[in-house]
């Protein structure tokens, strides 16, 4: 007798096995997931913001270095005249039979005698100028907008670093070891011989005259940005040369301030005042130490020797930063500046440097 074996029917999972997530568990999971996503988004946004801020600061630091490395060599070499160290003995300079520039009108477009006034190799104009000494080269530069009257103007006069050759329509200096024979000329005709001693080398050289005025304008090649600019004396072939051309140095510079470290003269007899034994109103000797720092135009500059220059440069970021407010008060030189209005949305950086002038006169007669 055959036996029939019943095959068990297929059955699904039990009720216990079919239990899923409860609504509370699902909400907890969603909450945790949302929290993690929000945290990731927050970290990303903050990282991006920090990256942008660091990039802005790095760009301003780079711009500050460039501005300073442009200014510093010029200032450091002020009062460099080749083979003579006393600009007041150079024939053709203001105060010593000034060179006739009547045929070179563009050489005077920063003011009559401005280019050949070698009495102050390093000079400046305090903000909007002062009585008897208005701001030179105040004409608007190409693309530079209007000059910022709250910024100082820094003026440097010197000879070129290396000797050159005579060239027509160029303001040049014939400089000799006998200081009284040194002379300015502009027509390409050297005023004296160039003698080269086989042992001591040349007794005279020709060097181009370097005259530059640094200032700040409200505009630049970058829309909406202020800039550091300069008027630079150039020469060469062509009618109207030599002349002052306008050059942009660095967009983003919104202020430059300068103070001069002055040596009032040596007090060798210890009476508390600079020695003036010949009673000519000037110190007998300078010691090359800055007694104090003064602003351009300070009366203390008369009869003093400038041996150092302190320069401040304030830079502004290229674009306003959402959510940022610059409430800081910047106090330096004779400036106290607190951003207002839309200017508060820009990040800023203030840098300074004290520059020692290499070429100073140790004796005054």
Backbone dihedral angles phi then psi of residue 2, each to the nearest 5 degrees: -75, 150
The first and second tokens of residue 312, run together, are 């401040």
Judged by average pLDDT, the poorest of 97-111, 137-151, 295-309 is 137-151
Q: Which two tokens stand for residue 273?
A: 């005042």
Find out whether 121 and 157 touch, Cβ atoms under 8 Å: yes
- Average of per-residue pLDDT across 224-232: 90
When comparing pLDDT for 271 and 334, which is higher? 334
Is the pLDDT at 194 greater than 70, yes or no?
yes
pLDDT at 316: 93
Q: 318: how many CB neighbours lie within 10 A of its CB?
A: 17
Share of the chain above pLDDT 70, in %: 84
Answer whether 78's CB lies under 8 Å from 123's CB.
no
pLDDT at 109: 79
Please name which of 120, 365, 105 lies closest in space to residue 244, comparing C-alpha atoms.
105
For residue 82, say if its preceding peptide bond is cis, omega within 30 degrees of 0: no
| Nearest alpha carbon to residue 174 among 200, 205, 197, 146 | 205
More confident residue, 36 or 65: 65
User: Mean pLDDT score of the chain, rounded to an integer?
Assistant: 83
Q: Provide the pLDDT for residue 132.
A: 43
Q: How far apart are CA 151 and CA 146, in angstroms?
A: 12
Residue 346 confidence (pLDDT): 94
pTM of the model: 0.81
Among 303, 297, 308, 310, which residue's Cα sits nearest to residue 264? 303
Give the max Cα distance, the chain: 153
- Which range has highest mean pLDDT (157-161, 318-322, 361-365)? 157-161
Predicted local distance difference test score (pLDDT) of residue 171: 94
């Amino acid at each position: 007798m055959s036996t029939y074996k019943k095959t068990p029917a297929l059955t699904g999972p039990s009720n216990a096995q079919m239990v899923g997530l409860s609504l509370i568990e699902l909400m907890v999971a969603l909450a945790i997931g949302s929290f993690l996503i929000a945290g990731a988004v927050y970290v990303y946004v903050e990282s991006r913001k920090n990256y942008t801020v660091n990039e802005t600061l790095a760009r301003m630091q780079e711009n500050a270095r460039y501005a300073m490395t442009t200014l510093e060599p010029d200032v450091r070499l002020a009062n460099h005249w080749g083979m003579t160290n006393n600009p007041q003995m150079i024939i053709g300079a203001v105060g010593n039979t000034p060179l006739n520039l009547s045929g070179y009108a563009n050489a005077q477009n920063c003011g009559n005698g401005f280019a050949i006034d070698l009495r102050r190799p390093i000079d400046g104009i305090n903000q909007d100028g002062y009585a008897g000494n208005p701001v030179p080269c105040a004409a608007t530069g190409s693309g530079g907008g209007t000059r910022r009257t709250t910024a100082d103007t820094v003026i440097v006069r010197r000879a070129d670093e290396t000797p050159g050759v005579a060239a027509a329509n160029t303001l040049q200096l014939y400089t000799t070891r006998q200081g009284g024979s040194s002379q300015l000329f502009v027509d390409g005709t050297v005023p004296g011989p160039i003698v080269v001693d086989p042992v001591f080398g040349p007794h005279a050289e020709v060097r181009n005259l370097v005259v530059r005025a640094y200032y700040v304008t409200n505009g630049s090649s970058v829309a909406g940005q202020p800039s550091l600019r300069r008027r630079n004396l150039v020469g060469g072939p062509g009618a109207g040369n030599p002349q002052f051309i306008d050059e942009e140095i660095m967009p983003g510079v919104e202020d430059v301030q300068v103070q001069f470290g002055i040596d009032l003269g040596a007090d060798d007899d210890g009476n508390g005042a600079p020695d003036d034994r010949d009673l000519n109103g000037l110190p007998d000797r300078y010691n090359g130490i800055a007694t104090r720092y003064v602003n351009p135009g300070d009366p203390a500059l008369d009869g003093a020797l400038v041996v150092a220059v302190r320069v401040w440069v304030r830079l502004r970021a290229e674009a306003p930063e959402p959510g940022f407010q610059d409430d800081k008060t910047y106090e330096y030189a004779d400036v106290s500046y607190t951003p207002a209005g839309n200017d508060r949305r820009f990040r800023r950086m203030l840098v300074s440097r004290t520059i020692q002038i290499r070429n100073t006169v140790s004796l005054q007669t």
